Structure formats: structure tokens, C-alpha cells
Structure 1
Amino acid sequence: MDQFIGEIGALLVGNRSFRGDDPHKGTSKEGEPFGGGWSGPQFVLTHDAPDAPVPGVTFLGDLDSGAAAAKAAAGDKCVNIIGADVARQCLEAGVLDEILVFIAPVMLGDGVRLFHHSSGTNVRLERLSLTHAPRAMNLRLRVIR
């Protein structure tokens, strides 16, 4: 994870993730990307932006402008997508180049399915790397177009 964080230039975040799926909730790291391990521009997709500005966060109402703004802000680094639904939308729009999945030995009972396609569309992927950490596996895949 530490290596990947260094590759991130901007975040494109879904509204649900921004407003509450914080794994650091209730700690001093709450609200900080990667628990404070990263800082930079964040772009949140939402139709209901908060009234008060949030430092370092830009709220946008559509995927096209959000993805373009995040890509421009990232420069030569990558845009990290946080939120399964935003990732699905990016995949369907053809703007997702790679998928990085961290697999931890924990069974979750609910949440948003990763890359749900109601039409059953197949997505071709090429494995770039598979690494093992003490408590997880990391799988990096390239989207084949």
C-alpha cells in the first residue's frame, strides 16, 4: 500500500464513500485519505454538495467533469478511485486503465458489489502483478480495450 500511495496524484471519490465509509471513523485519522498517509486534491461526485466548503475537496455533479478534473490534477501520477459505484461508472465509460484490489481475509456482510454489471458485460483484464503481504494479497490488473 505504501508504494501505491506514492503513485497517487488525485482522488476521485463517490459520495457514499466520502460521507461515511471511513475505515478510520472514530480515530484521530478520520477524514484523512489513507489515514493521513496521503494528501492532495480530491474530487467528490455528488448531486448534493455540502453548504460549507471542505478544504482540498472539489464537489462535481457528473462523472465526465470529475474524471477530467482529477486526471488534470494528478498530472503524471494516477487517479485513485474510491467507491465501487464510481469505479463501475469509470469502467463503463472507458476511463479506467487499471484495477488494484487488496484482498484481506475478512468476510463482509454488506456493501456495494465490486463492478456490478447489470447487462453482464465481460471485461477483459491482464494481470500486472500479484503480491503477498503478511495479512493480504494485492492484485493489479490492466483493463484490456
Structure 2
Amino acid sequence: MAKLLYSGTVSLDGFLAGPDGDMSWATPHLGPNPEIDDLIGRIGALLVGRRTFGGDDPYRDDPERAGKAFGGGWSGPQFVLTHRPPATAAPDVTFVTELAEGVAAASAAAGDGYVNVLGADVARQCLRAGLLDELLFCVAPVLLGDGVRIFDQPGVPAVRLERLSVTAVPHVTNLWYRVLR
């Protein structure tokens, strides 16, 4: 059975993206990371937010890697959650309009692998709905001060987590948690 995992590079002050969704700040922190390399091989499908799919990409200035999941390190089925599906689909991409539909389709496609959630809004929706199983943050040693916070949900009850692992590589510290229910 697939597990839903949110993974992403975040600043030390909790920002996933800079102002206007700018992800270019993360590029210097995306170097070799054995934990991420291992994870990529266990991802069976992606559940992606429309904004992330449409361009919030730390590799957008690199023609070889732009628009590709994990900079081209992963390929497979993607399910994009959007209220406005485009008229034409991209290869291996299915556009879905409901969270439950997207989670079900991505989970079926992932089999026993992970459904990797990409995009702050989709991650918040999954967490609020009690669907996220795990969180993996690659914490970069930078303070952005402004931008898109990963879990900015005023008024939402605290979510308890169990630490699974902490690993450090030269450019980030990986923090992996299980969501407790």
C-alpha cells in the first residue's frame, strides 16, 4: 500500500519558496544527497500542485533539468491537482480536480511505493485531511525571511510527529518524520 510523503527543501525559517513562489534560492542546496537519491527509487507516483507543475521549479534556469521532477532524476506517473485542467495533457500526467480523486489515483499508480507530494498547498490539504503519512524536509542553511511557508495554517490544531531520521550532508540537514494520528 502506498504511503503519502511530502518532501521538499526548506529554509531554516520555514519557507519552501521565496516571494512570488521563487524557487531559485534552493538551487545551491540541491547537491548530492544519498537519502534523496535512495528515496527517488522508491517513489511510485507524484501528486503535484498546479503552481508547482506550472513552474515553481528550482531548475527553471537549467534547460537540461527544468520542468523535470527531481531535476530529471525521476520519471513516472504524475497527478496534478487543479481547478483548471488544461485542454491538452502532457505525457505521464493526469489532471485531477478533487484531492480524494488525486490521492486515490496516485496511490493506485504507486503500488507499494511512495506517493511524493510536491507543492505547499497540496501538502497542506493532505495534512489537513489526515492523508500525509510522512514528511521529509531538507533544511537548507539559509534564512529567506519572506515567501511561501510550508505549513502556514493559523487556527489548525498541532500535528504530532515522530522523528524517523536525521542526516546531514554538506549543504542540507534531512529531517524525516512520521505523522502521528
Q: TM-score, normalised by structure 2?
A: 0.77
Distance, in Å, in 2 between the alignment partners of 1:119 and 1:75 is: 35
Does the alignment pair 1:139 with 2:175? yes
Superposition deviation, residue 26 in structure 1: 2.5
**Contact 1:126–1:143 (CA under 8 A) maintained in structure 2:** yes
Runs in 1 of length 4+ with deviation above 2 angstroms? 106-112
Give RMSD over aligned pairs.
1.1
Does the alignment pair 1:14 with 2:52? no
Superposition deviation, residue 107 in structure 1: 2.6
Amino acid at match of 1:16: R
Does the alignment pair 1:2 with 2:2? no
Does the alignment pair 1:56 with 2:99? no
Give matches, 1:53-132, under 5 Å. Answer: 53-132=89-168
Q: Please, which of 58, 72, 95 is the counterpart of residue 23 of structure 1?
A: 58
Distance, in Å, in 1 between the alignment partners of 2:98 and 2:147 is: 22
Q: Can you give the 5+ residue segments of structure 1 that lack an aligned partner in the other structure?
A: none
Q: TM-score, normalised by structure 1?
A: 0.95
Superposition deviation, residue 93 in structure 1: 0.7
Which residue number corresponds to residue 13 of structure 2? Answer: none
What's the CA shift string for 1:41-66, capped at 9, x where partnerless?
Answer: 00000011122221110000010000
Amino acid at match of 1:58: T
Q: Select the structure with the greater relative contact order (CA < 8 A; seq sep ≥ 6).
A: 2
Amino acid at match of 1:107: L
Distance, in Å, in 2 between the alignment partners of 1:85 and 1:143 is: 17
**Contact 1:5–1:38 (CA under 8 A) maintained in structure 2:** yes
Q: Can you give the 5+ residue segments of structure 2 that lack an aligned partner in the other structure?
A: 1-35
Identity %: 60
Amino acid at match of 1:128: L
Distance, in Å, in 2 between the alignment partners of 1:51 and 1:42 is: 17
What's the CA shift string for 1:76-120, capped at 9, x where partnerless?
Answer: 001000011111110111110000001011233443211122213
SS at match of 1:73: helix
